[in-house]
Amino acid sequence: MKRPIALWVLLALLIVLALGGLSGAYGFLSDPSGVGIGMAEQLERLPLTDYTVPGVLLLVLMFAGPLFLVFGLLRSPRWAWADRLFGWSGHHWAWTGSLILGLGLILWLAIQAWCIGFSAPIQWFTGTLTAAILAFTLMPSVRRAFAQG
């Protein structure tokens, strides 16, 4: 399959997200109090006792998840279970996963904004990255490349 340029941009965006997810997960998991990354005060506004759960979520959803999607978008493996789970979209599971990831990131940022506000530079960076991931996932050339049927 000839890969459109927009796909290569999407792959780069997913890798940037993964690196940010790894960095955030490391920060939260190495010091769950939030002191080390300057977020101890925000913890008081959250229904959590420490940042362990957000750290694990970052590790799984924003590090491993995007890397798994990069693999899927590059290799396009056909797995029956993935086809059953994501067949409703009419696209390969990795494309659908990229769309779901982008929508999930919007929810993640909305919850952050509601709980602790939305003013940190990393939130703005992640918001911009999210918009770019969604935009490149939805580009016609990328959609066509992963359309099924």
Per-residue pLDDT for 56 more than 70? yes
Domain residue spans of the chain: 5-146
CB neighbour list of residue 143: distance below 8 Å, 6 or more residues apart: 91, 95
Contact present, 18 and 51 (Cβ < 8 Å)? no
Kindly provide the residue ranges of all beta strands, DSSP E only, lying in 4-49, ordered along the sequence: none
pTM higher than the cut 0.85: yes
User: Tell me: the pLDDT tens digits for 23-47?
Assistant: 999 999 999 999 988 888 888 888 8
